[in-house]
Amino acid sequence: MRREDTRRLSLFSFALHLTPYASLFIDPPAAVLYSDTVMERRKTKQIQLGKVKVGGDAPITVQSMTKTDTRDARATVQQIWDLEAAGCDIVRVAVPVREAAEQLGEIKKKIRVPLIADIHFNYKLALIALEQGVDGLRLNPGNIGARKYVEEVVKAASERRIPIRIGVNAGSLEKDLLQKYSGPTAEGMVESGLRHIRILEDAGYQEIKISLKASNPLMMIEAYRMLASKVDYPFHLGVTEAGTPAVGTIKSAIGLGALLAEGIGDTIRVSLAADPVEEVRVAREILKALGLKKEGLTFVACPSCGRADVDLVALAKAVEEKMLSYSNLNIHVAVMGCEVNGPGEARAADLGVAGGKGIGLIFKRGEVIRKVPEAQIVDALMEEVRKFAAEKEAEERASTIEDQPHRSA
């Protein structure tokens, strides 16, 4: 199959699966079509945000942004914990005022994921954020005033080797570029990005990553493709203002999916008008659907049909919701509606359920282990998930002990 055909087929399959009912995904065949030989990743420089590497051969990471008032450190830390539990690798917080910047150290002390400060216009906030120990900055150097201010920020960032993300947004392009290109365009976004890059490079800084976001997936796809041939800095991908989960999931999957399928993209953020945990869940599903993320939860559910013996839609939703707190567990869970195709899929999973007449058969690694009334399926399955998680933990503990060097008597 030619690469172009593969790409087209995969996107078609991808779009079919990413419906508003994202909870009912079946692992798409796209993941199979994209073998390592088909998808060549764009070669980029590597930068480091705290303990997390971005670019080069580092795994593609998932980012999100808190929706709390950053001045409220307690609420912000709580949301960051929720994001981390959902599988978020990097978190960004808005820093619109000095009081928010001054809370960053307090927040940083209580979290494990790298913290990025999102700053606009005011270079002093960037300096405070760096003093407070953030792991990354998002700011556009062309928007923070005179060159001496940029140099001051670059000096403080380079002393700590803190990367700066240049975040170009189609909705806030410079006036002259809007005039030159008669409105927001991919060309204008790329030109804006190159301007900001040049400012940082002229100041002697190259710890950079770049995003070129638009609410129109086609525009952002074009912009990233164009810039990919001009620079080798890592890319943060995103469709901005994507909307509610129903629409935003589709737009993000199209925009991010198309680029990732071409090997473009080093870290991703799905922007949704929803709880940020939902953004992380969708981002992880996009990576999983493309075979770019293997670890963590894989959740499979059949779409249901006239053969379903149980209320599959309600069952799948209930299980998916309860599985959210197991997002980082390496487990494959299948929820199937009937005994026709159900047992096969359920058997392939670590844990699965196949509906029967008013009952559910619970499978574990291919074996039927329980038969329960429909009303008890969710509880029974979750009980098995807890046992599975405990077994995994014990296995990991045992292998860590085995790996430790033996002490001589």
Q: Which positions lie near ligand SF4, rule CB under 6 A?
A: 302-305, 307-308, 336-338, 340-342
Q: Which residue is listed with tokens 């005011």?
A: 122
**Sign (positive/negative) of CA torsion 73, 76, 78, 84?**
negative
Residue 157 or 338 with smaller CB distance to ligand SF4: 338
Q: Tell me how far, at minimum, the Cβ of 234 lies from ligand SF4, in Å.
A: 41
Of 307 and 364, nearer to ligand SF4 (C-beta) is 307
Instruction: Give the CA distances from residue 369 to residues 272, 316, 354, 400, in Å, rounded to whole numbers and listed in that order.
Output: 39, 20, 12, 29
**String of DSSP letters for 294-359:** -SSEEEEE----TT-SS-HHHHHHHHHHHHGGGTTS-EEEEEESSTTTHHHHHHHSSEEEEEETTE
Of the two residues 184 and 360, which places its CB atom closer to ligand SF4 in the complex? 360
What residue has token string 């045992």?
Answer: 398
Q: At what angle do helices 186-202 and 147-160 cross, to 10 degrees?
A: 70
Q: How far, rounded to the nearest angstrom, does the alpha carbon of residue 38 sit from its chain's CA centroid?
A: 22
Nearer to ligand SF4, 254 or 338 (CB): 338
Distance CA(113)–CA(121), nearest Å, equals 26
Nearer CB in complex with ligand SF4: 140/304? 304
Distances (CA, A) of 155 to 136, 146, 148, 151, 152: 14, 15, 10, 6, 5
Contacts of 155 (CB under 8 A, 6+ apart): none
Secondary structure class of 373 (helix, strand, coil)? strand
CB 313 within 8 A of CB 305: no
Handedness of CA 92, 96, 98, 99 (dihedral sign): negative
- Give every strand in the sheet of 359-364, ordered side by side: 297-301, 331-336, 351-356, 359-364, 367-373
Smallest distance, Å, CB 23 to ligand SF4? 14
Nearest CB to ligand SF4, comparing residues 259 and 336: 336
Pairing state of beta strands 90-94 and 297-301? unpaired
Q: Please state the closest distance from residue 290 (CB atom) to ligand SF4, in A.
A: 24
Sequence-distant (6+) residues with CB within 8 A of 10 are 30, 33, 34, 261, 290
Strand-pair category, 359-364 with 351-356: antiparallel
